Amino acid sequence: MSVNLRDLFLYEAFLYYNPLLLVTIMVWLWGINLWVFAQANVNFPKIFDLDQNHLSHTQIWKCATWMTIIVPTSMTAYLYLYSSGEVSLAASQPVLLYAAFAMALLCPFHIFYLSSRYFLLRTLWRIVFPLQAIAFADFFLADILTSMSKVFSDLERSVCRMVHRQVATIAWFEGDSVCGSHSVAIPIVLVLPYLFRLFQCLRQYKDTRDKTSLFNALKYSTAVPVIFVSALQYHVFPDKWVNLYRPLWLVSAVVNCLYSFYWDLTRDWDLSCFTVVFKFNKPHILSHCLYGRKWVYFWVIGSNLILRCTWTYKLSAHLRHNYLTVFTITALEMFRRFQWVFFRVENEWNKISNNKSSNTQLYLGDQQDKEEEFLINSNGHNV
Please write the tens of the pLDDT for every residue from 221-256: 999 999 998 888 878 888 888 899 889 988 999 999
Please write the tens of the pLDDT for every residue from 111-152: 889 999 999 999 999 999 998 999 999 999 999 999 999 899
pTM here is 0.86
Looking at residue 225, its pLDDT comes to 92
Q: Which residue has the higher pLDDT, 347 or 46?
A: 46
Q: Which residue has the higher pLDDT, 380 or 326?
A: 326
Looking at residue 183, its pLDDT comes to 81
Buried b (16+ CB within 10 A) or exposed e, 272-303: eebbbbbebeeeeeebeebbeeeebeeebbee
Most confident among 49-53, 180-184, 240-244 (mean pLDDT): 240-244
Mean pLDDT along residues 323-347 = 87
In degrees, rounded to 5, the angle at the alpha carbon of residue 157 between the alpha carbons of residues 153 and 158 is 115
| In the chain, % of residues over pLDDT 70 | 79
Residue closest to 231 by CA, chosen among 317, 310, 313, 150:
317
Dihedral sign, Cα of residue 69, residue 75, residue 81, residue 86: positive
Looking at residue 184, its pLDDT comes to 84
| In the chain, % of residues over pLDDT 90 | 42
Q: Which amino acid is at 152?
A: F
Mean pLDDT along residues 364-378 = 50
Looking at residue 102, its pLDDT comes to 95
